[in-house]
Chains A and B, each alone.
Chain A
Amino acid sequence: MTCATKRLSDPRSAAGPRGAMRALMLGVAGLALGAGMAHAQDLPFAVGEGDFSWDSYDSFAAEHDLDGQTITVFGPWLSGEKDNFERTLMYFEQATGADVQYSGSDSFEQQILIDAEAGSAPNLAIFPQPGLAADMASRGYLTPLASEDADWVRDNYAAGQSWVDLGTYADADGADQFYGIFYRADLKSLVWYSPENFEDAGYDVPETMEDLKALTEQIAADGETPWCIGLGSGAATGWPATDWVEDMMLRTQSPDDYDAWVTNEMPFDDPKVIAAIEEFGWFARNEDFVNGGAGAVASTDFRDSPAGLFEFPPQCYMHRQASFVPAFFPEGTVVGEDIDFFYLPSYAGQDLGKPVLGAGTVVGMTNESDGARVFLDWLKTPIAHELWMAQGAFLTAHSGVNTDTYIDDTSRRMGDIMLNADTFRFDASDLMPGAIGAGAFWTGMVDYAGGAEAEAVAGQIQSTWDSLK
């Protein structure tokens, strides 16, 4: 679930002299822009240089002029992510002359609703959860986009139809409309490990789920701890377990079953779902499989839990977490050397291909304006994506981007997984109604990790869902 991305704050850029310096320089650059004295050297990447698709920038700049207009954007990104996003905004501002004011909040979900209610919504909102955007749309707080926009996404995003579906919600009258373009995606189906530790112990990266389970048992038999799992996330405690269950669902059931589960056509206490929960339990509820024992799973903070990978001797060998997690690794960690990832494999015994679980942020219009529409057009240009790809911690399904602009091989490998997935499915908890996906599901998983029966928690979640109907 993307709650994590929203809370994701890069501690290295927030603190420390280098981060402060960068923030200061950025502030100065912002001031200079505000005063209308933008110089090319203020921009982190010089226009026209490198692998970027500058032609898309040039043609965009030629087509649009928003001199003197202000566009307000509200989103979940803070500190490091905010800086990265604002650096891409500098190019938009230079291309169009508009002034974009971005503000971020770590209680975005609550705040956007309050702002919309109060009639003080920003022009554009960046939703970390499509479910929230759908809710806003059903209340008439979102402006639908043109059907050409939907066609564009269908043609230009990998697995385009699924992204269109994810941006299509019922409006206040119940009619389906296309509301948002996805900008920035996360990959969830990743297992992080230390290649050095694997090598020392003689373990191989598993290619199938059967191998992964065998490896887990092997490590435990060797007297070591295979997994680090932490479900703690303050007020959002429990979400990491929902990702596990979703990944297990995709690896044991068909995508159609997954979709039926998301919409509750298949009840939450269906044996298929209970089986997926128990697949997660196979890993998390075994005293010998998790660092600190099964009792520590629910209370360990997800930000602290990967730390066990880096200790000596290692507290654990594997950690399943989305692509954003390097932000919580110790300072100086080099992904690809000190730590690496492999795709959470699927069962060889099941014919389900290589399913990928992911998430993303969708940009919707909460307060219509010409500038806001132009900004949405900007998000269609490859350059808008590449500028953040080159700064790191950004993946996209936009198939028109030059993947050479990814900051490193790691991101490129993740980007490739996203562009080549057999099945791409969005984080189910983000698609379910808020009371389930950000409520009962979390509570159920916390209870399950604490020893409750899978059947009982699934029944409890379903009864909450029933009460919503």
Chain B
Amino acid sequence: MSQLFVAAFTMVAGVFGCVAYFYISNLILDTALPPRGAQAGRNINRANAIRPWLFLFPAIFVLGVYLVYPVFNSVWLSLHDKTGNRWVGTDNYIWMLNDSEFRESFLNNIMWLIVVPAASTFFGLIAAALTDRIRWGNFAKSLIFMPMAISFVGASVIWKFVYDYRGADQEQIGLLNAVVVGLGGDPAAWITVPFWNNLFLMMILIWIQTGFAMVILSAALRGIPEETIEAAILDGASPLQIFTKIKVPQIWGTIAVVWTTITILVLKVFDIVLAMTNGQWGSQVLANLMFDWMFRGADYGRASTVALVIMVMVIPIMVWNIRNARKELG
């Protein structure tokens, strides 16, 4: 019960606090530099120069504390030992480069980076195009979109059943094994098969993200000027040609944004691997490796070093993504 009050109080205090901050700080500024009197002109100019910073301050402060400071702290920690107290120089980085598990996670991450965004965007685009002009298209869309509403761990639990394995002489309760056995094959413990298990884990994220790609791309497809398509039809283009040569080039920017957005998400992939394999059987990824060192190994130095690698990998994609999104808007 007390939590409810605390939550309600926080909300009220938060909202009114914000309003009060902007109102009062604005008031103080106007009092300090009154827009009247002998120096009205100078005061107005100065106040206008200060005002944006005043209003931006809360956002900059919060971003600084919760985003910028942790970055510097991670760099600092990555140069220290596991307790974060003793300077060890580049030891953590040397360890990382020689660690076979790190190399495994790095390569797996690259594979995730290539396969998941490509497959999600591809399937999303196909789904968007196919459902665009049919009667039950919206129904199909909602079905495809639904996995988006499931948490990663929840999705993992569902797919765990899909991949479940029982001994060959027992009844298979896993969907995939049931199908394989039904077709006359031998059941396998899918998530323990090195290399391929990575793809089985990726399948989960693709399943989730296809809906996201579909919704955005479907909106983009609708935004294509009708005239271009009409003109193509008049010129005798086939439906496939219209799709690949008229529609897709016009939404190329959106495809890129969808692709990169999913890419950034993929770099953070963690829940699925933790819940499905915990990185066993050669399926480790960077985020899970970081988690392992942070909370199982209790080693701040190594965890931060791995975290920085993830950050360095994500920055170029992020920059490109934001640029692209801006271009789209502009």
Contacts and interface: CB of A to CB of B under 8 A. Distances in A.
- Are A and B a genuine interacting pair, yes or no? yes
Interface of A: 109-110, 113, 135, 138-139, 234-238, 291-293, 295-296, 298-300, 315, 433-435, 438-439, 442-443, 446-447, 450, 460, 467-468
A379 B100 CA distance: 45
Contacts of A237: 277-278, 280
Chain A interface SS verdict (over half): helix
A296 B166 contact: yes
Nearest to A290: B167
Nearest to B157: A234
Given A236-B278, A442-B280, 9 more contacts: A135-B298, A237-B280, A292-B166, A298-B192, A315-B167, A435-B297, A438-B296, A439-B297, A443-B279
B297 A434 contact: yes
B181 to A, nearest CB: 14
B295 A110 contact: yes
A443 B298 contact: no
B168 A293 contact: yes
Interface string B154-195: 000000000001111110000000000000000011011000
25 contacts: A135-B298, A235-B275, A237-B277, A237-B278, A237-B280, A238-B280, A291-B167, A292-B165, A292-B170, A293-B168, A296-B167, A298-B280, A299-B192, A300-B165, A315-B170, A434-B296, A434-B297, A439-B292, A439-B296, A443-B279, A443-B280, A446-B280, A450-B192, A450-B281, A467-B99
Contacts of B113: none
A135 B293 CA distance: 14
Those 7 A-B pairs whose CB atoms lie nearest each other, nearest first: A292-B167, A435-B297, A299-B189, A110-B295, A235-B278, A434-B296, A438-B296
A435 B293 CA distance: 7
Contacts of B281: 298, 446-447, 450
A227 to B, nearest CB: 12
A446 B189 CA distance: 13
A467 B189 contact: no
B189 A235 contact: no
A438 B191 CA distance: 20
A434 B298 contact: yes
Contacts of A291: 167
Nearest to A449: B192
Nearest to A139: B83
A337 B99 CA distance: 51
Nearest to B291: A110
B262 interface: no
A192 B201 CA distance: 35
Nearest to A467: B95
A235, A238, A433: residue with the most chain B Cβ atoms closer than 10 Å: A235
